[in-house]
Structure 1
Amino acid sequence: MHGNEVLGRVLLLQLIEELVRGYRDKETWSLQLLNSTRIHILPTMNPDGFDEADTHCLFSQGRFNHNGVDLNRGFPDAFAGLRKQRELKEEQREAEVRAVIGWLKTETFVLSANLHGGALVASYPYDNSDRGSDFFGAPSLSPDDDVFVHLAKVYSYNHASMHRGNLCDDTGPFRDGITNGYHWYPLEGGMQDYNYVWAQCLELTLELSCCKFPQVKELPSLWEDNKKALLAYIQQIHLGVKGQVFDGSGKPVPNAVVEVEGRKNMCPFRTNQHGEYYRLLVPGVYTFKVRYPGHEVLTETLRVPYGPDQYSAMKHDFMLRRIASATFPALPEPSPSCNYTVHPGGGCATAASMWSRLTLGFSLVMVMQSLID
């Protein structure tokens, strides 16, 4: 999304080639990954910036799009809403931002990564806060902080050197090669927070090289540094639990709220148009509350195992019971305007009611889904 931070583009094109090569050669790792995961890759979100970029290591032009806008400051910001700041209408946002927002509304994305350069660290939400300037330098933690820390460490420790945390002269040090975004520096209007808050898609910002525009001769070694980490990160799409929510007549229902106790998300996680839900969770015992109009609140406690090694998250469906009352209380509305929209045409690869895949995405952008079977 920053046109002068070019390594991500090269790595994603190489990743495509590696995935296809492994699948054609019937290599076990590729067959397991691609038969269980739907992967979307957007190698370049800011082609105009890339065209304008020169080859300076740190200070090349091309960060902004053709209109001179930083795309990673152009998304709706939940914290701006909480502070009652005026936000742009969607039609006033940059075309690239609108395209990504529209894309997120047509797929049930679960895990994603946004690739950058100029540092070597895995950064996770939140990037912003409503606590004011007195809290700069302190972390802004999300309800899923444990999951984000796990995801960030998966990348940093599978990377050749990111986990060391001190390789770039002008950034860091970063313990374990990871950082909370706001703890590093405040960022308003970022894609990482938008994806998490509004799209139910857990996203990391991956800073992959000290130099924003590495020399061509360095690219093979940079690919080797990141190859294992990219593949390990994709495999994390199989964390947690997945399934469907069914109403009292046995039909899958959209827009049912699926909450995990102790995780008060700004916008509650809801089922998609096929009644499917997915929660990325590290192994443990969790209590779920499922709400849908006209039905009793369902509370169930589940023991969630580690799924990535088996290329499948735990599968569990929720069966709701109708209530007799003629009037039903409305579902609680979260703090920011969540504007849920169920799109009948997106979210899975077939017309069947079951997920065909869980979706992951890399952007510069990559986004993922995993099979429900």
Structure 2
Amino acid sequence: MMAHKGEHSGQCSFLTAAIVICGMLATFHSETKAAAIPAPGLEFRHHNNEEIPQILASVHARCPNITRIYTLSERSVRGLPLYVIEFSTTPGYHQLYHPEFKYIANMHGNEVLGRELLLHLANYLCEHFLAGDHDIQKLIKLTRIHLMPSMNPDGWQLSTDTDRNDYLVGRANNNSVDLNRNFPDLDRIMFSNEEAHVNHNNHLLEQVDRLKEPIQPETKAVMRLIMQVPFVLSANLHGGDLVANYPYDASRSGAMTEYTESPDDQTFRHLAMTYATHHKNMANPKRSGCGDDGYNFGKQGGITNGAAWYSVQGGMQDFNYLSSNDFEITLELGCDKYPLASALQEEWENNKKALIQYMWQAHIGVKGHVRDAVTGQPLPNTIIHVKNVTAGRNDDILHDVTSVHDGDYWRLLTPGQYIVTAYRDGYQPLSHRVRVYDRPHMEAQRVDFHLQPLLQLMQSANSDSKSDSEYEETYDETMRNNIVNKLQKKWLFNKYKESISTN
């Protein structure tokens, strides 16, 4: 099996702060760089590391009201900044009910098509917003979009300076580490929780107790980004095959190839199919496969489960899903990792519609806010649990999301009927039965929660059948559980710091 698979600060948890979080994202000032490259009519050629900030600066100069350029908290091993351009009607700020989206390319330095596609996508979004394209204007008004053209500029430079056709040269960073194997292995924790019947299926970074190798600066920078910004949907862009790959990337049993579905398998298949079917060739069952006698993934709709293809530990795709609220897939964009410049315009046309359509998927399912029913205050970190009751089903989706900074949340779902429940310590859970519809290019439907504090319920329960002592027992049990959870987290935090110090 081939190995080519590829700021508004949030609530910083105690463990994530120990590794990566609460670092600041730096705003980029174009005046400190060379003159911007004129972006209208951006050439279809390979742009070097110095040209990336120049192109982004040109886009920002033309669309200053809807863009912001920033660099991540860490530089590459060789000291190069990692640039991101953001599109939003309020650049630099998270907006209530506006989902956050990201594309990251060039994670493997010798897989370069995604890098050029994101430069052209940035240019396209700006041009079409200014030209009055209703669909693009609506997308940017409803979504905060982050585009990172290169996560591994050092690998790109090595590949470009040596042999662009070599399958491995430039793949890793300048410490010879494959960045798509360098994230904490949260799949191992998730599968262990499943075996032990532990009902903890999200935001698993706090449970990390060891690392197989030191976290690289490029990895650390992206981890900080993931933890700081409440992303809802994302994709990472690779090369070497033509397929949309979805979680899980690692197999449950440890087998090299084994279909390993996530609790959101239905939604992930939809997301992968969205990209594949809007790409000009990805879902074509009659196209050629990659390599000698290569398999054509078009025969299965242009998509694959990651572990069914081959198992990967420490990948960025599964890390997003298991460490945050973000649903991420991996896009393999073509057989040639380093295509000729003459092929880039055709590849842009092949991918343009799919890139736009996939961003719109950040609006499927439901969204809303969670607030205290008495005070009206937002309630961040509230668990949002979903049960699928479509057509007589009664299946809990065993992957929860949480509300974020200002109490808002998003839950990606495909059309059907669901029971959505909000849980938070110290509050009475609340459920809503909802029907999710297929509404292309529309906002997700609103489902809000106003949770009653348990203490308030106890104080107003004079007419209830329970005695005061029973309410006191319920309240005491809740408080005891909170204390136990905090002690467990403190222990895990200390164990994790010990493991970090040994790496």
Give the TM-score range, shorter chain: 0.7 to 0.9
Give runs of aligned pairs for residues 103-182 of structure 1, distance below 5 A. 103-133=225-255, 136-165=256-285, 166-170=287-291, 171-174=294-297, 175-182=300-307
Structure 1 equivalent of residue 15 of structure 2? none
Selected match of 2:429 from 284, 297, 301: 297
Selected match of 1:321 from 432, 445, 452: 452
How many angstroms does 1:145 deviate by?
Answer: 0.7
CA contact (8 A) 2:290 2:296 kept: no
Q: Does 1:234 align with 2:359?
A: yes
How many angstroms does 1:58 deviate by?
Answer: 5.2
CA contact (8 A) 2:365 2:415 kept: yes
Cα 1:226–1:150 change in 2 (3 A) is same
Gaps of 5+ in 2: 1-106, 194-207, 388-395, 459-470, 492-503
How many angstroms does 1:124 deviate by?
Answer: 0.2
Q: Does 1:257 align with 2:383?
A: yes
Selected match of 2:187 from 69, 79, 88: 79
Matched position secondary structure for 1:138 = coil
Matched position secondary structure for 1:4 = coil
CA contact (8 A) 1:241 1:279 kept: yes
How many angstroms does 1:303 deviate by?
Answer: 0.9
Matching residue's letter, 1:121: V
Per-residue deviation, residues 53-95 of structure 1 (Å, max 9, x unmatched): 14544525100000000000000112333559963299x3100
Structure 1 equivalent of residue 328 of structure 2? 203
Hey, what's the Cα distance between the residues in 2 that align with 1:56 and 1:89? 30
Give runs of aligned pairs for residues 14-93 of structure 1, distance below 5 A. 14-54=120-160, 55-57=163-165, 59=167, 61-81=169-189, 82=191, 87-88=210-211, 92-93=214-215
Gaps of 5+ in 1: 340-373
Q: Does 1:222 align with 2:354?
A: no
CA contact (8 A) 1:293 1:328 kept: no
Count of residue pairs brought into register by the alignment? 331
Hey, what's the Cα distance between the residues in 1 that align with 2:413 and 2:187? 24
CA contact (8 A) 1:192 1:205 kept: yes
How many angstroms does 1:247 deviate by?
Answer: 1.7
Per-residue deviation, residues 267-313 of structure 1 (Å, max 9, x unmatched): x3111121111100011110112111111121221111224332x01
CA contact (8 A) 2:373 2:452 kept: yes
Cα 1:202–1:71 change in 2 (3 A) is same
How many angstroms does 1:35 deviate by?
Answer: 1.1
How many angstroms does 1:129 deviate by?
Answer: 2.6
TM-score (norm 2): 0.63
Hey, what's the Cα distance between the residues in 1 that align with 2:159 and 2:120? 21
Hey, what's the Cα distance between the residues in 1 that align with 2:127 and 2:111? 26
Per-residue deviation, residues 323-358 of structure 1 (Å, max 9, x unmatched): 22433534898xxx9x9xxxxxxxxxxxxxxxxxxx
Hey, what's the Cα distance between the residues in 2 that align with 1:219 and 1:66? 26
CA contact (8 A) 1:157 1:163 kept: yes
Matched position secondary structure for 1:162 = coil
Cα 1:58–1:158 change in 2 (3 A) is farther
How many angstroms does 1:144 deviate by?
Answer: 0.7
Hey, what's the Cα distance between the residues in 2 that align with 1:196 and 1:147? 12
TM-score (norm 1): 0.84
How many angstroms does 1:167 deviate by?
Answer: 2.8
Selected match of 1:96 from 218, 230, 241: 218
Matching residue's letter, 2:452: R
How many angstroms does 1:172 deviate by?
Answer: 2.6
Structure 2 equivalent of residue 274 of structure 1? 406
Hey, what's the Cα distance between the residues in 2 that align with 1:33 and 1:79? 33
Q: Does 1:4 align with 2:110?
A: yes
Instruction: State percent identity of aligned pairs.
Output: 41
Hey, what's the Cα distance between the residues in 2 that align with 1:57 and 1:69? 20
Matched position secondary structure for 2:422 = strand
Matching residue's letter, 1:218: A
How many angstroms does 1:143 deviate by?
Answer: 0.7
Structure 1 residues 3-12 or 321-330, which shifts more?
321-330
Structure 1 equivalent of residue 4 of structure 2? none
Structure with greater proportional helix content: 2
Structure 2 equivalent of residue 367 of structure 1? none
Matched position secondary structure for 1:112 = strand
Q: Does 1:184 align with 2:309?
A: yes
Hey, what's the Cα distance between the residues in 2 that align with 1:189 and 1:60? 19
Matching residue's letter, 1:31: Q
RMSD: 2.4
Structure 1 residues 322-331 or 4-13, which shifts more?
322-331
The one of the two structures with greater contact order (alpha-carbon pairs below 8 A, sep at least 6) is 1
Cα 1:87–1:306 change in 2 (3 A) is same
Hey, what's the Cα distance between the residues in 2 that align with 1:3 and 1:197? 25
Hey, what's the Cα distance between the residues in 2 that align with 1:122 and 1:93? 27
